[in-house]
Structure 1
Amino acid sequence: MELYLVTDEAACMGRDFFWVVEEAVKGGVTLVQLREKALSTSAFIDKAKRLKELLAPYKVPLIINDSIEVALACDADGIHVGQSDMPFYELENVLPAGRIIGISAETKENVQEAEAWNISYLALSPLFATPSKTDTGNPWGMDGISWAKQNSRHPLMVIGGLNAINTKEAIQNGADGIAVISALCSSPSPYEAAKELRAIIAASKSEIHLPPQTGFPNK
């Protein structure tokens, strides 16, 4: 889960959405979250099914943002929810066994509460203020990652303002991976941008003697 692409069609700068995603995957993306706030449920499902088919040859999991209905309809690999969405215990009861469950954490209280949950990862949001995520709390910053690493047993993703300049510092402060939107969707070459970020993550983990992560803990 080292390099997590959160999709945003508007950020693709008018280019074909599926081309952008596939180029990023070819460059090294290890997980894709389909995030759609404006589509109808039926259109969301259609897009999710097409994206799952695209990702299958690369063995990259598809995560659906917020919608259990869409996740079940397209047989997604997992779901990601924010603090204002469906409670964790309901997700666990509805999803098939073994699916990936990701939860956003906007406060220290969110991190502490999640200690009782058997989730796949915790996403600290936002790391920095960003136009892509305007409905969240105060930015965590690098000190926030360090605090969460000391107070959480879950793999930690960070999202919000990550790029080639600050990824190394995020990893060295305790992030297991980064989630990005515009850094890939808006890049002139999603392939090259993903390749660069994966290389930075690998080098950063090597410096602090952390093995690269290839999967998720069993739930």
Structure 2
Amino acid sequence: MRRLSGLYVITEPALRDPIETAHQVLMAGVRLLQLRDKTATTRELVRVGQELRALTRQYGARLIVNDRLDVALAIEADGVHLGQDDLPVLLARRIAGERLLIGVSAETVAEAMEAESAGADYLGVGPMFATSTKPDAGAPVGPERLRAIKQAVHIPVFGIGGITLENAPAVLEAGADGICIVSAIVGAPDPAAAARQFLRLIGSGGE
């Protein structure tokens, strides 16, 4: 399994239709995409997920499902991303086996180390900065916290939350293997153009 890094785009249906988002960012070169929709029914998530799965296969990209291990398994996604209040990593791994990538959200060094020891494949650390796309997000952790987490674990670390072209360099300089973007791409007038700008900055699509 290749190491995860680069640009990781997360869908946000309140900003743009997930299928449209996927078309644009995959065409631009993004190779790591997450289906996130906190309001959709299970059936709707499966329907959209199946379409995204077909698209990501077409482009040779990975598809991760937020929160829902059952949906990830149902649509044969590449992975699932779990928050601190979601299914424990050990249990998710027992159910999914080694086939699925398992990502975990972490705000502290302790949470990051616990996730790694439980078998997580990567970490989403944040919110890096103030963000409007996740109302329940805690206070910004900042690049220095990410640096501390990166030094404490051996799995890939992605910065997430409030990241823009202007502040992304600080996240990368802190040691992030990649960055997760929502509004700066999904909410941009031209998501494909925005994705290409981030890809040039990072130098990787998510491989």
Same fold (TM over 0.5): yes
Partner residue in 1 for 2:20: 19
* Structure-to-structure mapping, 1:1-219, within 5 angstroms: 1-12=5-16, 16-202=17-203, 215=207
Deviation at 1:178, TM superposition (A): 0.3
Alignment check: 8 A CA contact 2:90 2:119 kept: no
TM-score (norm 2): 0.92
AA aligned to 2:198 is L
Alignment check: 8 A CA contact 1:83 1:103 kept: yes
Q: CA RMSD in A?
A: 1.5
Counterpart CA distance in 1 for 2:181 and 2:110 is 24
Alignment check: 8 A CA contact 2:30 2:206 kept: no
What is the DSSP-based 3-state SS (H/G/I as helix, E as strand, rest coil) of the residue aligned with 1:149? helix
Aligned-pair identity in percent equals 35
Instruction: Decide whether aligned partners of structure 1 residues 78 and 179 sit closer, same or farther in structure 2, where only a CA change above 3 A counts.
Output: same
Deviation at 1:22, TM superposition (A): 1.2
Alignment check: 8 A CA contact 1:21 1:185 kept: no
Alignment check: 8 A CA contact 2:81 2:102 kept: yes
Deviation at 1:107, TM superposition (A): 2.2
Counterpart CA distance in 2 for 1:95 and 1:5 is 23
Q: State the aligned residue count.
A: 203
AA aligned to 2:6 is E
Counterpart CA distance in 2 for 1:192 and 1:139 is 27
What is the DSSP-based 3-state SS (H/G/I as helix, E as strand, rest coil) of the residue aligned with 2:87? coil
**Cα distance per residue 1:81-137 (max 9 Å; x no partner):** 000000000110111423211000022320121231322211102111211122132
Deviation at 1:17, TM superposition (A): 3.4
Deviation at 1:142, TM superposition (A): 1.4
TM-score (norm 1): 0.87
Alignment check: 8 A CA contact 1:11 1:181 kept: no
Alignment check: 8 A CA contact 1:8 1:35 kept: yes
Query: Unaligned 5+ residue runs, structure 2?
Result: none
